[in-house]
């Protein structure tokens, strides 16, 4: 099985069943292809795990570091 890619989920609309606010962020791993995906209640920015490991240079990934790498990769901040 291929190792999954990393994603950053940005909440863009209120979901009445959840307790998230517009602008909340979440990261994780997924099998989606790299790119920007419209998903329910937001946008998912997917990056190939190669780009994460290349930027980490052997260090352990943290949620904050992965978030920052994805934001930089897509020029969001």
- Per-residue pLDDT of 9-44, as tens digits, reads 999 998 888 888 999 999 999 998 999 999 999 999
- For the entire predicted model, the pTM comes to 0.87
d(CA 23, CA 25): 6
The tally of domains found in the chain comes to 1
Give the per-residue pLDDT at 1.
53
Q: Phi and psi for 27 in degrees, rounded to 5? A: -125, 160
Predicted confidence (pLDDT) per residue in 51-74, tens digit: 999 999 888 889 999 999 999 999
Q: Is the pLDDT of residue 6 over 70?
A: yes
The range of the structural domain enclosing residue 40 comes to: 5-73
3-state secondary structure 13-71: CCCCCCCCCCCCEEEEEECCCCEEEEECCEEEEEECHHHHHHHHCCCCCCHHHHHHHHH
């Amino acid at each position: 099985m291929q190792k999954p890619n990393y994603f950053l989920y940005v909440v863009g609309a209120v979901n009445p069943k959840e307790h998230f606010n517009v602008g909340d962020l979440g990261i994780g791993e997924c099998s989606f292809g790299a790119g920007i995906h419209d998903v329910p209640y937001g946008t998912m920015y997917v990056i190939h795990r190669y780009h994460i490991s290349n930027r980490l240079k052997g260090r352990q990934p943290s949620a904050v570091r992965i978030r920052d790498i994805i934001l930089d990769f897509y020029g969001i901040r």
